[in-house]
A and B are shown apart, each in its own frame.
Chain A
Amino acid sequence: GENVEQHPSTLSVQEGDSAVIKCTYSDSASNYFPWYKQELGKRPQLIIDIRSNVGEKKDQRIAVTLNKTAKHFSLHITETQPEDSAVYFCAAPENTGNQFYFGTGTSLTVIP
Chain B
Amino acid sequence: DAKTTQPNSMESNEEEPVHLPCNHSTISGTDYIHWYRQLPSQGPEYVIHGLTSNVNNRMASLAIAEDRKSSTLILHRATLRDAAVYYCILRDSTGNQFYFGTGTSLTVIP
Genuine A/B complex: no
